[in-house]
Amino acid sequence: MFLTKFQSFKIVLYICFDVKASIMELNPDVLYRNSHRLVSQVSLDFKREIYDRINWKPRIIGIKGPKGVGKSTLLKQHIREAFPDDSKVLYASLDHIWFNGNSLDDLVEYHYIHGGTHLFLDEVHKYKNWQWGIKNIYDNYPSLNVVFTGSSMLQIDEGNADLSRRATMNIINGMSFREYLAFEGILSWDKVGLDDILSRHVEIATEITKKVHVLDYFDDYLRQGYYPFYKEDPEGFDERLAEVCKQVIEQDIPAVSEVEYATVQKLKKLLYIIAAQVPFIPKMEDIYTQLEVNREQGLKLLDLLERAALIGQLKTSVKAVKKMSSPDKLFLDNPNLMYALSSTPEIGTIRETFFYNQLSRVCKVNYPDRGDFLVDDRYLFEVGGPKKSFNQIKDVENSFLAIDGVEFGRGNKIPLWLFGFLY
Task: Please check whether residues 153 and 263 belong to one and the same domain.
Answer: no
Clarify whether residues 101 and 244 are in a common domain: no
Same structural domain, 246 and 192: yes
Q: Kindly report the pTM of this predicted structure.
A: 0.89
263 & 165 share domain: no
Q: If the chain, 423 residues long, is cut into consecutive pieces of 10 residues, what is the mean pLDDT of each piece?
A: 48 45 66 97 96 96 97 98 95 96 96 97 95 94 97 77 87 98 97 98 98 97 97 97 97 92 96 84 89 95 97 94 88 97 92 98 96 97 95 90 97 97 98
Q: Tell me: do 212 and 233 sit in the same domain.
A: yes
Looking at 171, 194, 223, which one is the last position of a domain?
Answer: 171
pLDDT of residue 19: 42
**pLDDT for the residue 26:** 57
* Domain end residue (candidates: 147, 171, 195): 171
Interior angle at CA 210, CA 205 and CA 215, nearest 5 = 65
The residue from 105, 137, 171 where one domain ends is: 171
Beta-carbon count within 10 A of 271 CB: 22
Q: Is the dihedral of CA 253, 259, 265, 268 positive or negative?
A: negative
Instruction: Tell me if 348 is assigned to some domain.
Output: yes
What total number of domains does the chain contain?
Answer: 2
CATH code: domain of residue 155: 3.40.50.300
113 and 159 housed in the same domain: yes
State in Å, rounded, how far the first CA of the chain is from the last one: 72
Predicted pLDDT of residue 22: 44
Supply the pLDDT for residue 4: 52
| Statement to judge: residues 245 and 375 lie in one domain | yes
- Could you list the residue range(s) of the whole structural domain that residue 124 is in? 20-171
- Coil, strand or helix at 331: strand
Domain assignment present for residue 5? The answer is no
Rounded Cα distance, 95 and 19, in Å: 20
Pair 308, 415 in one domain: yes
CA-to-CA distance for 68 and 87, rounded, in angstroms? 28
- Examine residue 15 and state whether it is found in any structural domain, yes or no: no
Residue 305 lies in a domain: yes
- Both 214 and 360 in one domain: the answer is yes
What integer pLDDT is reported at residue 23 of this predicted model? 43
